[in-house]
Structure 1
Amino acid sequence: MSILLGLLAIVIVMGIAYLMSNDRKNINYMGIIIMLIAQVITTWFMFETAIGSSIIRWIADGFDKLIEFGTAGVSFVVGDLMEGGNVFFFNVLLLIIFFATLLSVLTYLKILPALIRYLGGFISKITGLPKVESFNAVNSIFFGQSEAIIAIKSQFRHLSNNRLYIVSASAMGSVSASIIGAYMQMLPAEYVLVALPLNMFSSLIVASIIAPVKVDKKDDHVDVKEVSTSKSIFEAMGNGALDGGKIALIVAAMLIAFIASLELVNWIIQAIFAGTTIQQILGYIFAPIGILMGIAPSEVIQAGGIMGTKIVTNEFVAMLELQPLVDTLSLKTVGIVSVFLTSFANFSSIGIIAGTVQGIDAEKGATVSRFGLKLLIGATLGSILSATMAGLFL
């Protein structure tokens, strides 16, 4: 029964995307089918096979070791402050600095650019999607929303509104590798890792239905400057550390603002409706799709509230709500919600993406602002698709 509900959820996601489509005649159905099959194979391999499970454990162990290295650096600076309990800023956010440094070094050594080009070219070949969109989808897994978009700024003159939508959707539906370590401090590592490829494909699937593209070969080329501007590995380390520090402070500031705002909204709601919270209201809103995704009816209000919180605030706020419930909710619910949360699909991302594009091309920045809500709905559908796909194998 749960499999049938999951399949129904996928059909509903596709149906909503189809109704939102602005060019139904040019939808690349073959490419979409190929990406759906790729999702099924990826999820099955990672969850159901001994080799896949071993790979996940190996990658998770690798991240755990990296987290140990990062923690050593943080501990040296803050000393006994880390001993005084679970201080989120010290134990989670400051790890972003080390991961951003590592990312910067891998970029300087041209390891990441080569990997991104190879994977992007492979996805373009098997799906029929344009190279720029395919490259950007892979690039968005490793770099943040702004950085992934800036990497293809030389291609903006070739981007139609539909192509711009797909590029923006990939940026919103992904996460940055620099903060994956922070996610793994709050959620089970295997679900965070599975979410990365699933969300890449989901973003492309939904966006390709909403904004289909056909590109002439002469306009389908990648000319990106995905190389480090650092002159040495030490400069790369320094630049990465500074970038990571900025990200950590930005996330901390957003958490303070969003969590405080949630408390204010809940105080107002409870003054009117005693015992009611915004999370409960969001839980009821998300309950129908949550049940189809595979969440148990007894847990769907709580889980739906967490998913709704992520959309109106950000993924960190929602992960902090899920973290203490990991051991009390069922394994399937934790997996589905974790995959759903591992993306940048929230209201604040609209402004980040639109602002980045605005800095590259003012006209296209205004275009992104106009389809901002449509972008968020598409990215949310992508998160639902990824979480449902994971739920089919849990």
Structure 2
Amino acid sequence: MDILLGVLAIVVVLGLAFLMSNDKRNINYKGIGIMLVLQVLTTWFMFTTQIGQAIINGIAAGFNKLIEFGLEGINFVLGGVEVGEGGVFFFDVLLLIIFFATILSVLTYLKILPSIIKYIGTAISKVTGLPKVESFNAVNSIFFGQSEALIAIRSQFHHLDKNRLYIVSASAMGSVSASIVGAYLQMLPPQYVLVALPLNMFSALMIASVIAPVRVPKEDHVDVKNVTNDRSIFEAMGNGALEGGKIALIVAAMLIAFIASLELVNWLIQLAFAGVTLQQILGYALAPIGVLMGISPSEVIQAGSVMGTKIVTNEFVAMLQFQTMLNDMSVKTVGIVSVFLTSFANFSSIGIIAGTVKGIDSEKAVSVSGFGMKLLVGATLASILSATVVGLFL
């Protein structure tokens, strides 16, 4: 029964994307089918085979070792600061972003990451029939944040029409940055965060390709020669650390603003309806799709409230809320919700992406602002799709 509900959820998600499509005749059904099969095979391999589980455990162990190294740096700077029981979120979680951003910057300077991303993107392009720029950007979005992923393809921006611009923007919103994965691993079960990275890449491409179909252009290439301006490994380390520090402060500022705003909204709601919160309203609103995704009816309201919180605020606010529920929910619900939360699909991302595109090409920023809500809906459908596929194997 759970498998039938999951299949129905996938049909519903793709059906909603089809209804939103602006060019139904040119949808690449073959490519979408291939990506869906790749999603299912990836999840099956990771969750049901010993080799797949060993890979996940190995990657998780690697991240945990990197977290240990990062904590050494944090403790050196803040070792004398007295903190209460439970620690301080900014110290224990957000400051790790600095170390992970430094590693990414060095790997980019050494041309290791750009080469990996280019070849994986090229392979995806050949298998699915999508243009190389869109495929490259989708893979790039696994490692870098929304702004950085789009900036990496700035030299190709003049080739992008409205549909292609939608796909690269959707990939950026539907993924997460590797620089903050370490922070996520401190809050959610590692296996679900890690499997969400490739699944979200495929989901974002699938949903975006249905909503905004594209054809491979005659000139289809990706240039990764000038992906960094760093002139030495030490400059890369310094710039990476500064960028990581900026991200940590931005996340902290957004958490303060969103959590405080959420409390304000709940206070206003309770003036009219005592005992009712925005989270509860969102929980009931998302309950139908939550049941289809495979969440138990007894847990779907709580799970829906977390998913809704992520959409209207950001993933960190929702993860903090979900952290308190982990021990009280089933393994399946924890897996589904964790995968859903591991993406940038929320209202604030619309502004981030529009602002980034404006800095690259002010004319195309107008298009992004015009399809902003469609972008959020598409990215949310992609998160639902990834979470549903995971639920089939839990």
Please classify the TM superposition score into its range, dividing by the shorter chain length.
Answer: over 0.9
Measure the CA separation in 2 of the matches of 1:104 and 1:52: 28
- What is the aligned partner in structure 2 of residue 32 from structure 1? 32
Matches within 5 A, 1:251-290: 251-290=251-290
Q: 1:257 to 1:225 in 2, by over 3 A?
A: farther
Deviation at 1:83, TM superposition (A): 4.8
What whole-Å deviation, never above 9, does each CA across 1:119-152 have from its counterpart, x for those lacking one? 0001001000000000000000000100110111
Deviates more, 1:332-341 or 1:262-271: 262-271
User: 1:303 touches 1:337 (CA, 8 Å); kept in 2?
Assistant: yes
- What is the aligned partner in structure 1 of residue 391 from structure 2? 391
Q: 1:349 to 1:330 in 2, by over 3 A?
A: same
- What is the aligned partner in structure 2 of residue 2 from structure 1? 2
- What is the aligned partner in structure 2 of residue 44 from structure 1? 44
- What is the aligned partner in structure 2 of residue 19 from structure 1? 19
Partner SS, residue 84 of structure 1: coil
- What is the aligned partner in structure 1 of residue 361 from structure 2? 361
Measure the CA separation in 1 of the matches of 2:122 and 2:368: 26
Q: TM-score, normalised by structure 2?
A: 0.98
- What is the aligned partner in structure 2 of residue 59 from structure 1? 59
Measure the CA separation in 1 of the matches of 2:346 and 2:169: 13
2:380 counterpart of 1:380: yes
- What is the aligned partner in structure 2 of residue 145 from structure 1? 146
Partner SS, residue 285 of structure 1: helix
Deviation at 1:226, TM superposition (A): 4.9
Unpaired runs of at least 5, structure 2: none
User: 2:287 touches 2:301 (CA, 8 Å); kept in 1?
Assistant: yes
Deviation at 1:216, TM superposition (A): 2.7
Measure the CA separation in 1 of the matches of 2:249 and 2:217: 43
User: 2:120 touches 2:139 (CA, 8 Å); kept in 1?
Assistant: yes
Partner SS, residue 243 of structure 2: helix
Deviation at 1:220, TM superposition (A): 1.3
Measure the CA separation in 2 of the matches of 1:355 and 1:259: 23
- What is the aligned partner in structure 2 of residue 291 from structure 1? 291
Deviation at 1:373, TM superposition (A): 0.2
Unpaired runs of at least 5, structure 1: none
Measure the CA separation in 2 of the matches of 1:156 and 1:371: 17
Deviation at 1:228, TM superposition (A): 2.6
User: 1:151 touches 1:225 (CA, 8 Å); kept in 2?
Assistant: no
Q: 1:226 to 1:322 in 2, by over 3 A?
A: farther
2:104 counterpart of 1:103: yes
What whole-Å deviation, never above 9, does each CA across 1:3-48 have from its counterpart, x for those lacking one? 0000000000010000000001100000000000000000000001
What whole-Å deviation, never above 9, does each CA across 1:258-295 have from its counterpart, x for those lacking one? 00000111111112111111000000000000000000
> What letter matches 2:57 in structure 1?
R
What whole-Å deviation, never above 9, does each CA across 1:208-265 have from its counterpart, x for those lacking one? 0000001332x21112445332121111111100000000000000000000000111
User: 1:154 touches 1:224 (CA, 8 Å); kept in 2?
Assistant: no
Matches within 5 A, 1:1-394: 1-81=1-81, 83-85=83-85, 86-217=87-218, 219-394=219-394
Measure the CA separation in 2 of the matches of 1:59 and 1:119: 18
> What letter matches 1:200 in structure 2?
M
Q: CA RMSD in A?
A: 0.9
User: 2:176 touches 2:197 (CA, 8 Å); kept in 1?
Assistant: yes
Measure the CA separation in 1 of the matches of 2:367 and 2:382: 21
Aligned-pair identity (%):
76
Partner SS, residue 203 of structure 1: helix
Measure the CA separation in 1 of the matches of 2:82 and 2:165: 44
Partner SS, residue 186 of structure 1: coil
User: 2:115 touches 2:224 (CA, 8 Å); kept in 1?
Assistant: no
Measure the CA separation in 1 of the matches of 2:224 and 2:283: 42
Measure the CA separation in 2 of the matches of 1:309 and 1:203: 20
Q: TM-score, normalised by structure 1?
A: 0.98
> What letter matches 1:216 in structure 2?
P
Measure the CA separation in 2 of the matches of 1:256 and 1:204: 32
> What letter matches 1:298 in structure 2?
S
Number of equivalent positions: 393
Measure the CA separation in 1 of the matches of 2:390 and 2:216: 32
> What letter matches 2:185 in structure 1?
M
Provide runs of 4+ in structure 1 moved above 6 Å: none
> What letter matches 1:25 in structure 2?
R
User: 1:82 touches 1:91 (CA, 8 Å); kept in 2?
Assistant: no
User: 1:113 touches 1:226 (CA, 8 Å); kept in 2?
Assistant: no
> What letter matches 1:271 in structure 2?
L
User: 1:43 touches 1:390 (CA, 8 Å); kept in 2?
Assistant: yes
Measure the CA separation in 2 of the matches of 1:59 and 1:374: 34
Deviation at 1:82, TM superposition (A): 6.3
> What letter matches 1:245 in structure 2?
G
Measure the CA separation in 1 of the matches of 2:342 and 2:313: 13
User: 2:114 touches 2:224 (CA, 8 Å); kept in 1?
Assistant: no
